[in-house]
Amino acid sequence: MKLTKIKEGMAEIFIPKAERIYDAPVFYNPIMALNRDLSVLVLKALGSKKVLDALSATGVRGIRYALETEAEEAWLNDINPSAFELIIKNLENNFGEKPILEREMAIITRERKIIATNKDANLLMTEKFRYFDFIDLDPFGSPMEFLDSALRSVKRKGTIAITATDTAPLCGAHSKACVRRYNSIPLRGELCHESGLRILIGTVARYAAKYDLGIKVLVAYYKDHYFRAFLQLKDGAKEGDKSLMNLGYVYFDTKNGKFEIEKRFLPSKLNAFGPLWLGPLKDQKFIEKMILKSEECELAQKKKVLNFLNTLLKELDEPFFYDTHALARRNSLEVRKLSEIGAILQEKGYKVSRTHFSPTAIKTDAPFEEALMALKAL
Ligand code: SAM
């Protein structure tokens, strides 16, 4: 394998030389540096001690967790033997010593313990029952095949970080795949990214509930064709019940773009999309803490990260939004400036914000008819 060295955050990582990232024998995607930066900030804000990067590839994520956070024990795992070899090389390069090979593990014991393994992630997580404070699932495509093991391997008050890159199922382009993987009917159209994220979180809430666990969303988002959710577990049957109360459905009228949500275990009407999570997508104080923590960090893309976190901070935490371009198209109206529509709604006393899900959309607590009237009034 021909290698080249890159720097990301505080880590120096050997990655394979390849024409396209998916041709490489071990996977590294530079676009995901922002995902890893945000994950570092989440870990720093949580102060988690035992951390697992279950699908590690080059090891960049786990190495960054070990170098840039307060983690005392960082585990890096990948099923691919070439990835395992590269993880060991990258550990040696970043920590200045060769890991000791012992019982299928490569271990560095310094002020922090770092352990690399070459196992099926499900097997490793099954062996380490209720062990980790934080588990990161960053798979190719869907995280669903690892979810049950992760929910058993993480502590009952731990946190799981989940990436899903299978946007075609979650956004409704491959509806059957979404039903198979997530047991949920996806929505197409302008709301598909938010509904995809809410389907992912809703599925975790349902899986967690069977272990008498609830979930709290610390921060969740859609970006660069992937979904990411940081979910803190809440211990107890009541917490599980509380989480399930946040599940429900969305109804969508393709003629005019009107949506309606319903928090309910079963839908009361036909043509419901879901089930999906209708609870909060962020904890405001937690994001503020992440922003504070960024001052101590050497992130790969600090400016981008702070811009993004500030967008999330300002975003109204209401389910769904009005995409002004789609609304204009569906109702044969002219496209108008977001700021002008927002000003009309604000004058009427409604809350309005932009949303990271779409640059042409607003989130508001105004009903559909008011949003449409604001578009017509201009
Ligand atoms: N987390 C990495 C990062 O931030 O650069 C990228 C991980 S890559 C998207 C997914 C990795 O999962 C691949 O390296 C692949 O070999 C590994 N993988 C796939 N199935 C696995 C399994 N069952 N157990 C462990 N690793 C697995």
Give the ipTM. Answer: 0.99
Residue nearest to atom 10 of ligand 1 (CA): 139
pLDDT of 51 > 80? The answer is yes
Q: How far is the CA of 140 from the centre of ligand 1 (A)?
A: 7
Q: Which CATH class is domain 3-314?
A: alpha beta
pLDDT of 256 > 80? The answer is yes
Q: Which atom of ligand 1 is nearest to the CA of 26?
A: 14
> pLDDT of 99-118, one tens digit each?
999 988 999 998 899 999 99
Positive/negative CA dihedral, 239, 240, 241, 245: positive
Q: Measured between alpha carbons, how far is 363 from 308 in angstroms, rounded to an integer?
A: 16
Q: Which atom of ligand 1 is nearest to the CA of 57?
A: 14
Q: Measured between alpha carbons, how far is 103 from 100 in angstroms, rounded to an integer?
A: 10
Residue 60 confidence (pLDDT): 98
Q: Measured between alpha carbons, how far is 354 from 359 in angstroms, rounded to an integer?
A: 7
- Contact 366 CB / ligand 1 (< 6 Å): no
Among residues 62, 87, 85, the alpha carbon closest in space to that of 75 is found at 62
Residue 187 confidence (pLDDT): 98
CATH 3.30.720.210 fits 322-377, yes or no: no
- List, by residue range, all CATH 3.40.50.150 domains of the chain: 3-314
- Contact 79 CB / ligand 1 (< 6 Å): yes
16 with 3: CB under 8 angstroms? Answer: yes
**Minimum mean pLDDT range among 60-69, 254-263, 368-377:** 368-377
Q: Measured between alpha carbons, how far is 274 from 277 in angstroms, rounded to an integer?
A: 8
Please list, residue by residue across 172-188, b when 16 or more beta carbons sit within 10 angstroms of its beta carbon and e when fewer do: bebbebbeebbebbbbe
To test the pocket of ligand 1, the residue of 21, 34, 55 to mutate (highest count of ligand atoms within 8 Å of its CB) is 55
- Contact 215 CB / ligand 1 (< 6 Å): no
DSSP string, 194-228: HHHHHHHHHHHHHHHHTTTEEEEEEEEEEETTEEE
Q: Compute the average pLDDT of residues 65-80.
A: 98
- Contact 27 CB / ligand 1 (< 6 Å): yes
Q: Compute the average pLDDT of residues 299-325.
A: 98
- Contact 140 CB / ligand 1 (< 6 Å): yes
Query: Which residues, listed in sequence order, are joined to residue 126 by a DSSP beta bridge?
Result: none
Listed in sequence order, the residues at least 6 apart from 108 whose beta carbon sits closer than 8 Å to its beta carbon are: 91, 95, 97, 99, 100, 114, 115
Q: Measured between alpha carbons, how far is 206 from 276 in angstroms, rounded to an integer?
A: 10
Q: Measured between alpha carbons, how far is 272 from 252 in angstroms, rounded to an integer?
A: 8
- Contact 80 CB / ligand 1 (< 6 Å): yes
- Contact 194 CB / ligand 1 (< 6 Å): no
Q: How many residues does the chain have?
A: 378
Report the predicted TM-score, pTM, of the whole model to 2 decimal places.
0.98
| Pairing of the two strands 113-117 and 132-137 | unpaired
pLDDT of 282 > 90? The answer is yes
Q: Which atom of ligand 1 is nearest to the CA of 120?
A: 24
pLDDT of 378 > 70? The answer is no
Q: Measured between alpha carbons, how far is 320 from 8 in angstroms, rounded to an integer?
A: 34
| Pairing of the two strands 105-109 and 113-117 | antiparallel
Among residues 111, 94, 75, 112, the alpha carbon closest in space to that of 5 is found at 94
Residue nearest to atom 17 of ligand 1 (CA): 55
Residue 377 confidence (pLDDT): 80
Q: Compute the average pLDDT of residues 262-278.
A: 98
Q: How far is the CA of 165 from the centre of ligand 1 (A)?
A: 13
Tokens representing residue 263 in the block: 């928090």
- List, by residue range, all CATH 3.30.56.70 domains of the chain: 322-377
In angstroms and rounded to an integer, the radius of gyration of the C-alpha atoms of the chain is 22
Residue 148 confidence (pLDDT): 98
Q: Which atom of ligand 1 is nearest to the CA of 145?
A: 23
Q: How far is the CA of 91 from the centre of ligand 1 (A)?
A: 17
Q: Measured between alpha carbons, how far is 106 from 235 in angstroms, rounded to an integer?
A: 33
Residue nearest to atom 22 of ligand 1 (CA): 120
Neighbours of 54 (CB within 10 A): 31
- Contact 267 CB / ligand 1 (< 6 Å): no
